[in-house]
């Protein structure tokens, strides 16, 4: 088995680094390894397809969750299992279904608790 070039990555990894949904990328992106130089070029001067994907989607779950202000688990509990477009995300934000309000509240509660725990840990570290 030949070892892949250490300076290249799988398309899924590159898509993740670019914050795009891999199945929505062009076939040539999906089918070929991406070098670090190619990734840097895509980040520095994105082609039109990348600009369009970032603007209109479909977006990967982590971005959908962030735009809706919920966790990825919250998306699943709300029945969102597929990537969503910007238009679909905006429609959810306008409609504000009950699951979304509940999940946003829950997520904010978790974030508050995480901040509280970090503050407690920081205080303990200062006292040591």
| Model confidence pLDDT, tens digit, residues 71-125 | 999 999 999 999 999 999 999 999 999 999 999 999 999 999 999 999 999 988 8
Structural domain total, the chain: 1
**What are the structure tokens assigned to 1, written together?**
């088995």
Work out the pLDDT band at 6, boundaries 50, 70, 90: low
Residue 2 lies in a domain: no
Q: What is the pLDDT of residues 28-46, one digit of tens each?
A: 999 999 999 999 999 999 9
Closest to 21 (Cα-Cα) out of 94, 79, 85, 68: 85
d(CA 55, CA 48): 10
| Residue 53 within any structural domain of the chain | yes
Classify residue 29: in a domain, yes or no. Answer: yes
Residue 21 lies in a domain: yes
Q: Which domain holds residue 37?
A: 8-127
**Residue 123: inside a domain, yes or no?**
yes
100, part of any domain: yes
> Strand (E) positions, 13-87?
34-35
Answer yes or no: are the C-beta atoms of 61 and 72 closer than 8 Å: yes
Query: How far is Cα 23 from Cα 79, in angstroms, rounded to an integer?
Result: 20
Q: Does 3 map to a domain? A: no
């Amino acid at each position: 088995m030949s070892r892949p070039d250490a300076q290249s990555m799988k398309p899924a990894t590159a898509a993740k680094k670019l914050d795009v949904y891999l199945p929505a990328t062009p076939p040539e992106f999906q089918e070929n390894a991406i070098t670090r130089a190619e990734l840097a070029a895509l980040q520095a001067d994105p082609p039109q397809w990348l600009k369009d994907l970032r603007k209109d989607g479909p977006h990967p779950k982590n971005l959908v969750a962030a735009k809706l202000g919920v966790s990825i688990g919250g998306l699943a509990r709300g029945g969102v299992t597929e990537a969503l477009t910007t238009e679909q995300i905006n429609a959810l934000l306008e409609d504000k279904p009950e699951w979304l309000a509940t999940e946003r509240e829950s997520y904010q509660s978790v974030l508050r608790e995480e901040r509280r725990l970090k503050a407690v840990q920081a205080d303990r570290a200062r006292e040591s």
